[in-house]
Structure 1
Amino acid sequence: MTQKHDDEGVQRIAGADGEPAFVVMPVAAYDALRKAAERDSAAATLEHTLTPVPAPVARRIAHGENPVRVWREHRGMKAIDLARTAGVGAPYLSEIETGKKDGSFRTMAAIADVLRVSLDDLAPVADTERKRARQRAALINSVNAQVRALLTLVGGDFDTAAVRRAVTQLVSDAVTLKMQDPELAGWIDDMLESARTVLDLIDRAEQDIIETAQRARTSLEELVSGPGFRRKMAVVLDETGTGETCESGPEIVANLTRASAAD
C-alpha cells in the first residue's frame, strides 16, 4: 500500500491496484464532513415533504390502485427492474402490487428508497367498504357452512353435542351479520327462530335420555332388591352340571348396584 497526504492533513491509502482504499483525516475535518452530510439529508427530506404528490399518482391511489405499482410506473420502471434494485423477488413484488401480500417493513423500506418516496407514500388507502364487504362475505360463508353441517349431522349419526355446537356457532355468526348488515334482518330472524327450535328439540331429546336412564335405573334397583330375586339368585350353578359354584346372589346384587351407581 502507498500513502499520500494533502495540505488539509488528509491521508489517502491506496490499495494494491493503486486506487484509493482508505482515508485518514483529522477529527475536526471528519466532524465538519459529517455535519454537512446531515444538513444535506435534512434538506432532501424537507424538500420531499414540501413536494406535493403528483396529481395523476394521487388520483390513481385514491381510486384503489396499489401505491407501489403507481409510483413504479410514475418513475418509468419495470417491475423486474424495481425487484432487482430493491433486492426483492419478482413474484413477491407482484403479490405486493396485486394486494395479495403486505410487504415486510424491510422490504417496503427498500422499495421506498428505490422509488425515492417515503414509506407513508406506499401505504394503501384505507378501504373501509371493501373490508366490510369481505367480512360480510366471510360471515355468510360461515353461516352456510354451519347449515350444511347441521344437515349432515341430522341425516347421519345423530350427535346432540355436535348439533348443539353447530347451532351455537350459527347463531353467533348470524347475530354478528345482522348487526353489520341490517338489510338481512328478515332472513336472519327466520334463521334464528329455526335455530331456537333446534336447540329446544336438542334440550328435549337430552332430557328424555336422562329421564329414560333414570327410570331404567329405578326399575333395575326395584327388581334386584326384591325378596324373590334375592331368593332365586342365592346360589347360581353353572349349566354344565359340575356343581361348581359361581357368584352368589348377594354378590351379583352388589355388583349390579355398583354398576348402576357408576352409570
Structure 2
Amino acid sequence: MNDIQFIEHNGKRAFAVIPINLFERMAAAFEDLNDIALYDATKAADDGFCFPGAVLHAIIDGVHPVTAWRNYRGLSLEELTTIAGIHPTLLLQIENGTENGSTATLQTIAQALNIAVENLQE
C-alpha cells in the first residue's frame, strides 16, 4: 500500500499527503466519474430530436435552413408549398433570403417539415 502522510491541525487530521502515483490514479478516476455524470445528464435531457448531419452541414455551407430541411425531407419547392399552403414565390423568397417570412408563415413551414420553428432560424 502507498504511504500516506497526515498533517494535523488542532489535534485533528487536516491534510493528507499522498504519493504522486496514487494522486494520478485518483485524478483519472475522478475525471472518468465527471465524464460519466456529464453523459448521464445529457442523456436525461435528451428530448429525442436529432439535428441531421446533412442539414447541419448544408446550413454551415450557407444554405438557408428552410432549403436544407426541405432537401433533407426530399421535397421539391412545389411539394412544400402545397403541404404548407403558401405561395411558391414566398417560399422561394424565404429560401433566397430576400424575404424573412412572418412568424405564422415560418410556423406553417415548420409544421409541414415536421420540425420546431426554431430550427428554421438563421
| Aligned match for 1:84, one of 73, 82, 97 | 82
Percent of aligned pairs with the same amino acid: 31
In structure 2, the residue matched to 1:120 is 118
RMSD of aligned Cα (Å): 1.6
In 1, Cα distance between equivalents of 2:68 and 2:48: 20
**Deviation per residue, 1:90-119 (Å, 9 max, x gap):** 011000000010010110000000100111
Bigger CA radius of gyration:
1
Q: Which runs of 5+ in 1 are unaligned?
A: 1-45, 125-263
Q: Secondary structure at the residue paired with 2:91? A: helix
TM-score, normalising length from structure 1?
0.29
Report which of the two has the higher share of helix. Answer: 1
In structure 2, the residue matched to 1:75 is 73
Stretches of 4+ aligned residues off by more than 2 angstroms: none
In 2, Cα distance between equivalents of 1:106 and 1:60: 24
Q: C-alpha displacement at 1:51, in angstroms?
A: 2.1
In 2, Cα distance between equivalents of 1:101 and 1:67: 13
| Aligned match for 1:110, one of 84, 108, 111 | 108
Q: C-alpha displacement at 1:63, in angstroms?
A: 2.0
In 2, Cα distance between equivalents of 1:120 and 1:63: 19
Q: Which runs of 5+ in 2 are unaligned?
A: 1-44
Counterpart code for 1:106 = A
In 1, Cα distance between equivalents of 2:70 and 2:96: 13
In 2, Cα distance between equivalents of 1:87 and 1:55: 28
Q: Which has the higher contact order (CA 8 A, sep 6+)?
A: 2
Q: C-alpha displacement at 1:50, in angstroms?
A: 2.8
Counterpart code for 1:94 = L
Q: C-alpha displacement at 1:55, in angstroms?
A: 0.8
Residues 185-196 of structure 1 mapped to structure 2, 5 A cutoff: none
